[in-house]
Amino acid sequence: MNAHTPLRIGSSYVAALRAKLPHAVLEERWQTDRQATITVKLEALPEAVRTLYYVHDGWFSTMAGNDERGLNGTYGLYYVLSMGGAEKCHMVIHAQVPEDKPEFPAVTPLVPAAVWYEREVRDMFGLEPVGLPDARRLVLPDDWPDGLYPLRKDSMDYRFRPAPTTDAENYPFINDAKQETTVVPLGPLHVTSDEPGHFRLFVDGEDIIDADYRMFYVHRGMEKLAETRMGYHDVTFLADRVCGICGYAHSVAYANSVENALGIVVPERGQAIRSILLETERLHSHLLNLGLACHFVGFDSGFMQFFRVREKTMMLAEMLTGHRKTYSMNLIGGVRRDILAEQKLTTLKTLGELRCEVRRLVDILLSTPNIGGRVTNVGRLDPKVARDHSPVGPVLRGSGFRRDTRADHPFAGYLSGATPINVQTGCDVLSRTLVRVSEVFDSMAIIENLLNDTPAGPILTEDFTYTPYKFALGFTEAPRGEDIHWSMLGDNQKLYRWRCRASTYNNWPVLRHMLRGNTVSDAPLIVASIDPCYSCTDRVTVVDVKKSTTKTVAYKEMERYCRERTSSPLK
Amino acid sequence: MNAPIFRDDLTIKPQGLSMSNEVAALKGRLLKSIGRSVYVYRVDCGGCNGCEIEIFAAITPIFDAERFGIKVVPSPRHADILLYTGAVTRAMRMPGLRAYEAAPEPKIVVSYGACGNTGGIFHDLYCVWGGTDQIVPVDVYIPGCPPSPQATIYGFAMALGLLDQKLKETHHVEGEGESVPLIHPEIPYALRVAVERRAREMAGYLHGKVIAEAFLAALAAPEPASVEARLAALTAQESDPRVVEIYGQLRAVLRAMVVEQAS
Amino acid sequence: MFKLLKEIFRTGQATALYPFAPPQTIKDSRGKPEHDPVKCIACAACTGACPANALSMKTDVAAGTRTWAINYGQCVFCGRCQEVCPTNAIALTTEFELAVARKDDLITRATFKLAYCRTCGAAFSTLKEVDYVARLLGALAETPKEAERIRAHAEICPACKRRLDVEEMAQANPVRQMECL
């Protein structure tokens, strides 16, 4: 096929870029009919990304750095935009950073959504984003030596563990407040669910003025592992373990990226099974979040009820995959287990029961008298802020944007189209919760449709060979939003580079805006409403700048305050 | 390709902690029989969250670990048991140590999940230390990725002396004349492999193996009925339409190979 | 409130009785991988496929042994070993009661005897693997003489095989050999 086949969705964006930046577009390469990589001159990079983002309704999906010095003497930067306009496709802006001058013009001043990505590429590759105001580390721990960039091919072995440079945790937190504020640190350890992360809330009395957070306490180095110890198939099992709750979505996104790069056609039945499992994962994930929503408004009976019902979905997952976490089901080219008649019937029966139970529980939750007051107009995500930062999933859909990867960029078993998109316009915690409620029912319907009409034929294809240095994107709609992976194949039966971006990565940066203007007691609820890969933090240190005092409050106390809203721990 | 090479010069081990004899004796008593409720504090040292959610599932209605007085508490200062999950990332080394030091003696440390036990799939990465016991002494290991709520309850029951340990270290040494039987030696090797491969493509490694085995057994069954009749009987007995479809595919493989042989 | 109470009464007892009753296991759930060392030929297919390196194989030339081991503490229960095993020597069970107090109890080992090349004498495989391969390929032979040749060939290490093949080719067709040069 030549570059101008009308089949290629997104050609008009390429033409628009060429018109806008006449001499800056160097090359265009199409990975699939809906995926193009456009190489631009380094100095034109920010403008090219801005044009697609703001002029052509692009959304920032991910950015991948890549050490291509061994191939062409440069570092590659790949800015991935998910186009939301008439032509739904992925546009990748690629620029090359010369080896002898490892810096590039930062995109963040023009497109704020790029901020975490550019900080990360500085940590991992030592590429300096010129013009990026935030000079702090993002991913690497405080005790990591300066000048050692893990993802450079020649920097170190993947097993190299340098001695800790410090025992202190010296990450500087940022506070944009004009007036004096109190500091409330939360974390990194906490009791409710999930992973470590550290929050600082800057408060004036009870009101949150600003917030900052330090994530990546769990940075393990998976991307380096994928290109060193592991073969192609092994990475699907690694991708499962990106996240303990939406791991299967990652595994599918990874497998998809390799399949797209090589043009592998996964058998229809394999695709359908992938979708069935993705929806099962969405069910248990959303039910978990609804349970937590009950918990944080002080409705613990509801929490227990949601968890009781959620176990039915876990049973489904275990029956369909052999594991409660839908782990280890993918290979490149398909899936590892079929769904036979017995499993199909049990699934349909269980879904019937589940639908009734969830309907009753949701009814109980929404009719509880104090719910409305706790969740309405709390944690507002302004649509304008959302547009600037590209959040994903229910967080975005709760602010009125019709964006869902399953409908915008169909993959796996969603290719037949008609996946419903649930939107709420309240922009608050309630809207995000309602989006999840609707999605639970939609997921059940999707699973039933796919089970009643599963295509025949194989579930796996092994009829392909690997071609070095092919690359492409793979994507899924995880319960928390779009997961997107960028993979480049190597010449040694391993990946050359794997860039994995989890949905919550795009949601964290907007949280700061959602917290501002709310009270301290709502903070855990707001954090839980983005359904982060963890919902809270352990320890709250309160620094009241006006009083010049520092006070550490146990997380449980914060959480209790969130639920009961009496006896403020700050007094 | 996938094998790790352990090189000591690549890995600096963090300093371990030691314990006094007195504390060790107290702890022994605690492990043997606690005779009261136990308070558990969870320390996530860089897991994927899977373990955290399974612990959550273990304390909610279906599995309800609180039946045994196991209660999750918000501060290490109240804890009898510290439950470490995750492969111990660099950033969590100090918080993990602080939690350990904050808990009163005697305390039991439980290492939870593959990552906590050895580092699991992440065991040799640059940004992890490879398991709980690299930074604090561990009393009980609960394997699983993640352990299911039932495995969690078993692990706790074992830690508290309620149930006995089942798994023991074993070492088999090859005996005289050990020889592995061939699978279906009466069926040509190429045909068996073709059938098994097709069955895996159709139904995966698990169901595929069962289906292929049923098919091969029918194929290898002693006369009198003809091969076609035996396979037709096998298909007719099957009630699952999907399995019938797969048998059809395997019969096509068989026909193709017979035709190939003939030509 | 009333609705909630109704829901609670409707549900009744939800809790599973384990450990006071047998565990509820789901068919084909992925639990402990059970290794049958008698059926194992130590071919290392599983150790290569294991994404977590829970399976390992170490050769001790001095002792004349090769030791296979699984560390249940590192296992992620994916079932790749079961998928690739040519002799069905390893399969996942539904067993989940694996917690231990002593870390070494997480490890199961099996030691096999090494096979030595009949030409150069170097250790290159295990006796069981050579024996298995010889019988598997021997079954394809049409004459006993052919079977014996296959058996002998199986007992030669890859390096010697390459050398012998080249020599054989050179003898069979010296002209072609020259052309190749």
pLDDT of residue A489: 94
Residue A570 has pLDDT above 80, yes or no: no
Chain C residues within an 8 Å CB radius of B163: 19, 97
Cβ distance C109 to B172 less than 8 Å, yes or no, reads yes
Phi and psi at C111, nearest 5°, equal -110, 135
Residue A498 has pLDDT above 90, yes or no: yes
Q: Which residues contact A292 (CB under 8 A, 6 or more apart)?
A: A192, A193, A303, A528, A531, A535
Cβ distance C8 to A301 less than 8 Å, yes or no, reads yes
**Distance in Å, alpha carbon of C160 to nearest chain B alpha carbon:** 23
Give yes or no for B101 touching A (CB within 8 A).
no
pLDDT of residue C14: 80
Residue A533 has pLDDT above 60, yes or no: no
Residue A554 has pLDDT above 70, yes or no: no
* Dist CA A477 CA B99 (whole Å): 36
**Distance in Å, alpha carbon of A88 to nearest chain B alpha carbon:** 32
Q: Find which of B174, B197, B200, B209 to mutate to test the C interface (most C CBs within 10 Å of its CB).
A: B174
Q: Find which of C84, C98, C104 to mutate to test the B interface (most B CBs within 10 Å of its CB).
A: C98
**Distance in Å, alpha carbon of B156 to nearest chain A alpha carbon:** 18
Higher pLDDT, B1 or C147: C147
Cβ distance A307 to B57 less than 8 Å, yes or no, reads yes
| Token reading at A470 | 């092919």
This prediction's pTM: 0.91
Phi and psi at C175, nearest 5°, equal -65, -45
Q: Which of A92-96, A184-188, A485-489 has the lowest mean pLDDT?
A: A184-188
Range list of H helices, C20-143: 45-49, 80-84, 127-138
The mean of the pLDDT values for chain A is 85
pLDDT of residue B42: 87
DSSP string for A355-405: HHHHHHHHHHHHHSTTHHHHHTT-S---HHHHHHH---THHHHTTT----H
H or E element in which residue A14 lies: helix A11-20
pLDDT of residue A245: 82
Residue length of chain B: 263
B51, B97 Cβ separation under 8 angstroms:
no
Residue A94 has pLDDT above 70, yes or no: yes
Higher pLDDT, C148 or A198: C148
Chain C residues within an 8 Å CB radius of A336: 79, 83
**Distance in Å, alpha carbon of C67 to nearest chain A alpha carbon:** 22
pLDDT level of residue A501 (50, 70, 90 thresholds): confident
Q: What is the ipTM of this complex?
A: 0.90
Q: How far is CA A231 from CA A228, A334, A490, A496, in A?
A: 8, 16, 10, 11
Residue A553 has pLDDT above 80, yes or no: no
CATH number for the domain formed by residue range(s) C15-114: 3.30.70.3270
pLDDT of residue A534: 46
Higher pLDDT, C25 or A499: A499
Cβ distance A361 to C8 less than 8 Å, yes or no, reads no
pLDDT level of residue A251 (50, 70, 90 thresholds): very high
Cβ distance A534 to B52 less than 8 Å, yes or no, reads yes
Percent of chain A scoring above 70 in pLDDT: 84
**Which residue from C14, C29, C80 is facing A318, i.e. has the nearest CB?**
C29
Cβ distance C99 to B148 less than 8 Å, yes or no, reads no
Chain B residues within an 8 Å CB radius of A196: 44-46, 91-92, 95
pLDDT level of residue A184 (50, 70, 90 thresholds): low
Cβ distance A338 to B207 less than 8 Å, yes or no, reads yes
Residue A35 has pLDDT above 60, yes or no: yes
SS3 of B106, please? coil
Span A324-346, average pLDDT: 93
Span B238-257, average pLDDT: 94
Span A433-440, average pLDDT: 94
Q: Find which of C24, C56, C76, C93 to mutate to test the A interface (most A CBs within 10 Å of its CB).
A: C76
Residue length of chain C: 181
Chain C residues within an 8 Å CB radius of B184: none
Closest listed residue to residue A484, CA positions, set A274, A249, A265, A266? A249
> Which chains are adjacent to chain C, needing at least 3 Cβ pairs under 8 Å?
A, B
Cβ distance A191 to B74 less than 8 Å, yes or no, reads yes
**Distance in Å, alpha carbon of A233 to nearest chain C alpha carbon:** 8
Give yes or no for B71 touching A (CB within 8 A).
no
Which residue ranges form the domains of chain A, and what is each CATH number? 1-170+550-571 (3.30.460.80), 231-494 (1.10.645.10)
pLDDT of residue C174: 61
Chain B residues within an 8 Å CB radius of C16: 62-63, 150
Instruction: Considering chain C, tell me which residue range(s) the CATH 3.30.70.3270 domain(s) occupy.
Output: 15-114
Percent of chain A scoring above 90 in pLDDT: 54
Give yes or no for B206 touching A (CB within 8 A).
yes
**Distance in Å, alpha carbon of C29 to nearest chain A alpha carbon:** 4
Span B249-259, average pLDDT: 91
pLDDT of residue A541: 32
Q: Do the strands A334-335 and A330-331 form a parallel or antiparallel pair, or are they unpaired?
A: antiparallel
pLDDT of residue B13: 54
Residue B9 has pLDDT above 50, yes or no: no
Q: Find which of B139, B169, B183, B261 to mutate to test the C interface (most C CBs within 10 Å of its CB).
A: B169
Q: Which residue of A has its CA nearest to C24?
A: A315
Chain B residues within an 8 Å CB radius of A339: 242
pLDDT of residue B2: 38
**Distance in Å, alpha carbon of B230 to nearest chain C alpha carbon:** 25
pLDDT of residue A561: 65
C69-107 pLDDT, tens per residue? 999 999 999 999 999 999 999 999 999 999 999 999 999
Cβ distance C97 to B151 less than 8 Å, yes or no, reads yes
Q: Which of A107-121, A414-428, A520-534 has the lowest mean pLDDT?
A: A520-534
A531, A285 Cβ separation under 8 angstroms:
yes
Residue A165 has pLDDT above 60, yes or no: yes
H or E element in which residue A505 lies: helix A503-515
Chain A residues within an 8 Å CB radius of C83: 336
**Distance in Å, alpha carbon of C4 to nearest chain A alpha carbon:** 6
**Which residue from A161, A194, A457 is facing B11, i.e. has the nearest CB?**
A161
CA B21 vs. chain centroid, Å, equals 34
Give yes or no for C5 touching A (CB within 8 A).
no
pLDDT level of residue A374 (50, 70, 90 thresholds): confident
Closest listed residue to residue C69, CA positions, set C102, C97, C37, C32? C37
